[in-house]
Amino acid sequence: MAVTTPVKPRRGRPPKSATKAAAAEGTEADEGTTLEPAAKRRRTYTKKAKAAESSASLELDERVFFSNRLSAQEADTTQFIPGCEDRSMFDEARASACIAEGGVAATEGGGTTPSTPSAVAGMVGYQVKKIRFGNYIIDSWYISPFPDEYSRHALLYICEFCLKYMKSEYTFKRHCQKCTLRHPPGDEIYRDENISVFEVDGRKNKIYCQNLCLIGKMYLDTKTLFYDVEPFLFYVLCEYDAQGYHFAGYYSKEKRSAQGYNLSCIMILPSKQREGYGKLLIEFSYLLSKKEGVPGSPEKPLSDFGLLSYRSYWRRAIYEILLACGGATVSIEDLAGQTGMTVDDIISTLQTDGMLHRLPGTPGNYAIVADTKKTEEYVRKAREKNPRRIDPSKLRWAPFLIKATLAAAPPDRRLSTSTAAAIGGTHVNVTSDNDDDDDE
C-alpha cells in the first residue's frame, strides 16, 4: 500500500506555470473575481494608455470646459498672469493706502515703499489709533513711536497717574487696583483751588517723562524728543479731586537754554481742551521767567497753532499793561520787564497790530499808539473767554540753577528755601571754594 505524503505549499510567489494560467484566466474572469497583481497592473496600464490617446487626439478648440460652459479661450488662465503694468498699479494702490493710514509712502532718498507685505504692514498696521486715558477714549492725531509690541494694538490703555501704557483691558484694571501713585512724581510748585502744577525732573523720573513725551507725540506733529529727557524739566498741569491729581497737560523746557527759551513744547489733552489750560500754562511759563529775572520766549520756529496761541497771549498781556498805565508813556523795555517777554516778541506783536508808528523827523524812533476802545474791548472778551488766571502769590518755587547750587553747597554756606525763592532768579554762587555749577 503506497503512502502519499502531502506537499507543503511554498511561501512567496507562485510558480511560473501557475502565474501564466492565472493571467490567462484573468482576462475572462468576471468583475467579482479577484485578479492577480500582474493582471491589475496590465489593466491599469491599458486604461492610462487609452486615456492618453484620447486626450492627445482632441484639439484645443474641441475640448469641453466646465460642461461646455466655457470656451477654450475663456478657460485659458495664462492671460491672468500679472505683468509689469499690474505691478505698477499694485504699488500705486499700496502707496496711497499707506499714506491714508499715516504711514510713509517713500523714503527721504526718493525710494519707493517696501515690496513685501510684511514691510507694508509694519508701516500701516503698527499705529495706535486710540488711547484709554482715565474715563476717556481719545483718538490719536499722529503716530507715536511706541515699542513694536504695543504699536500692533489699535487701542492702548494708559494710567492717568503714572502714565504706564498697557495692551489689554484686563492688565489695565489690575494695574489701577495696584497703582499707588496719585500725583506726578515731582514737586508741587503751584496750587489754586483744584488746579496744581508739578515740576518733574527728566533725570530723576526718566520713565515717567519718556511716557509723557510718547503721549505728547500723539498730538504734536513737530515733536522729536522721546527718550533723551534728562536735560529737560517738565511742568505737569493736573486737576485735583478726591481720587488724586488727574493729568490735563504739560509743557517742557531745557534746564539751561543757550537761546533763553522758557518753553520747548506744550500739549493739552484733547479731552481737556477749550478750558483755557493752554493759555494758563503759557502764562505760568512767563511767571517763572519773571521769577528768574530773565526774559523768556518759546522755542522757535512755532507751529501755526502755537503761533496763534502765543500771539493771543502776547496781545492780551501787552494790552492789559497799556490800559493799566492810563495813557502814560511806556517803553518796550518796561513792557518786557512787566510781562517777562523778550523785546523781539513785543515788537512783533505791536507791528502785527499796527501799533508801532515812526516819529517824523527822528529816524529810528518809534511810538506805541493804541486805540483805547479797541484795546478795552479785546481785553474784556479775552477775560470772558478765559477767566482763569495764574496767581503769582501761590507760586512756591526756586529757579533750577539756584536749587542745584544750594544742593552742592556746604551745610554752613546754604541759604534757606525762603531766601532762595526771594532771590527771584539771580544766579548766586554760594560756594566759595568751587565756582562750578552743578549740572545735576
Burial of 440 (0-12, 13-18, 19+ CB in 10 A): middle
d(CA 420, CA 407): 12
Contact 150, 165 (CB under 8 A): yes
Q: Measured between alpha carbons, how far is residue 403 from residues 285, 302, 406, 427, 431 in Å?
A: 18, 30, 5, 10, 13
Residues whose CB falls within 8 Å of the CB of residue 105, separated by 6 or more in sequence, listed in order: 95, 96, 98, 99, 113
DSSP state at residue 235: E
Q: Are 309 and 317 in contact (CB under 8 A)?
A: no
Measured between alpha carbons, how far is 285 from 290 in angstroms, rounded to an integer?
Answer: 9
Cβ contact 190:199 at 8 Å: no
Take residue 406 and report the three cell numbers written for it.
Answer: 544750594
- Report DSSP letters for 237-277, one per residue: EEEEETTEEEEEEEEEEESS-TT-EEESEEEE-GGG-SSSH
Alpha-helix runs per DSSP H in 125-166:
148-151
- Which residue numbers are catalytic? 299
Do residues 105 and 99 lie in contact, with contact meaning Cβ atoms separated by under 8 Å?
A: yes
- 132: enclosing H helix or E strand: strand 130-133
Tell me the C-alpha distance between 137 and 135, whole Å.
7
What whole-number distance in Å separates Cα of residue 93 and Cα of residue 315?
48
Q: Which residue from 250, 268, 243, 275 is spatially nearest to 199, judged by alpha carbons?
A: 250
Please state the φ and ψ torsions of residue 292, each to the nearest 5 degrees.
-75, -20
